[in-house]
Amino acid sequence: MNNKTILIIGGTGMLGKPVAQQLKADGFNVRLLARNPEKAQKLLGTGYEIIKGDVDNAAALREALKGADGVHISLKGGPSETDYERMDHLATRDIANAAKELGVGRVTILSAYAIGEEKADTPESRSKLKGEAALRSSGVPYTIFRASWFMETLPLFVQGKSISLIGNQIHPLHWIAVDDYARMVSKSYQTDETLNKELYVFGPEAYTMGEAMKIYTSIAAPHLKVSAISTKMLSVLGVLSFNTEWKSTALLMTHYENWGEDGSPEEANRLLSAPTTTLKEWCEKIGSYDRRLDQVIG
């Protein structure tokens, strides 16, 4: 059991919760900043310190950072440009500056692989780019995780009896399981070799989004069919229906039509051990869980 305390901001989300759980399993004292502590407690269980508040509350943020040895940021902005700016840029800036002032040892953050000056073609990518820059300029030691697509995002594309392949997604992607990513984040807090680095986190195998969806439906969701829709059509439907989420998704997927993976996971794999979970293994795992759940409900 070590005595380090790690604050998780976004620790109840799909990609933050496993990090909190892994850190706790590895012996860290895990603290969360949560708008609803009761809900967070119910979701995560016992053994976590939970402070009421959010990133817009400077006093609560500072209280949560006091005495922390590190802070992990797992925030999700959108769908509006204003909200991307608030979460991916300004919140990151404020957390980093407060962490530096209060003597927090390091900040880790989940970013995305397609981030760079030439790739800043959407509100999200521009805000993430500014957030990364603000983190570096704060002076606090940092690690930026530039992760490829998470396997856990595949069910988010399900609509009714189909899974939507949005746009012309031609780039091979190294799909990563969130449990592998969480293990790498936790391990980064056990070495100083990861400080002040941008680490690309890629899974063991590469598939285009269409290929990944076919594997997912064949193993975990055979009742679904893959249904293609262009980014332009989704954007038009979003405008006609006043659906800001559809418009934002169309813009996001246009970004990934343009940009594939161009970083190398070699350093992350060397320092933190390479991810091992394959997409097929992950699909078999969740498919088995769904079948057991059907048996219980049925």
Alpha-carbon gap, residue 249 to 66, rounded angstroms: 37
Q: Strand 5-9 vs strand 70-73: parallel, antiparallel, or unpaired?
A: parallel
Q: How far apart are CA 258 and CA 169, in angstroms?
A: 9
User: How far is the C-alpha of 115 from the C-alpha of 283, rounded, in Å?
Assistant: 28
Query: How far apart (Å, rounded) are the C-alpha atoms in residues 282 and 152?
Result: 9
Domain positions in the chain are: 5-150+177-203+261-277
Give the per-residue pLDDT at 3.
86
Please, where are the H alpha helices in 13-122? Answer: 17-25, 37-44, 58-65, 81-84, 92-101
Q: What is the pLDDT of residue 77?
A: 92
Buried b (16+ CB within 10 A) or exposed e, 78-104: bbebebbbbbbbbbbbbbbbbbbeeeb
pLDDT at 298: 41
Give the CATH superfamily of 5-150+177-203+261-277. Answer: NAD(P)-binding Rossmann-like Domain (3.40.50.720)
HSE-CB of 93 using CA atoms within 13 angstroms: 13
Report the predicted TM-score, pTM, of the whole model to 2 decimal places. 0.94
pLDDT in tens, the chain (298 residues): 578 999 999 999 999 999 999 999 999 999 999 999 999 999 999 999 999 999 999 999 999 999 999 999 999 999 999 999 999 999 999 999 999 999 999 999 999 999 999 999 999 999 999 999 999 999 999 999 999 999 999 999 999 999 999 999 999 999 999 999 999 999 999 999 999 999 999 999 999 999 999 999 999 999 999 999 999 999 999 999 999 999 999 999 999 999 999 999 999 999 999 999 999 999 999 986 554 434 433 4
Contact between 156 and 269 under an 8 Å Cβ cutoff? The reply is no
Are 13 and 39 in contact by the 8 Å Cβ rule? The answer is no
